Structure 1
């Protein structure tokens, strides 16, 4: 559990990771929409 929280903290600390996360979030949103439609 703490590992997940650590990951979130790292993402907030590293702006570079945020950029990657943004892309991942977009892909996740697309997947989520597909899942919902399914």
Structure 2
């Protein structure tokens, strides 16, 4: 690692996309959980 190396920071678009994918994953998990509960009650 030299002092002249660029920061190992992904570009803003990539970080935004990762945040969106993370939120989408959480929403999908919650939706699956809700579907399991609803199907289990029926």
TM-score calculated relative to the size of structure 2: 0.51
RMSD of aligned C-alpha atoms? 0.9
Larger Rg: 2
Tell me how many residue pairs correspond in the alignment: 25
TM-score calculated relative to the size of structure 1: 0.54
Which consecutive unaligned segments of at least 5 residues does structure 1 have? Answer: 1-13
Which consecutive unaligned segments of at least 5 residues does structure 2 have? Answer: 1-16
Larger relative helix fraction: 1
Relative contact order higher in (CA < 8 Å, ≥ 6 apart): 1
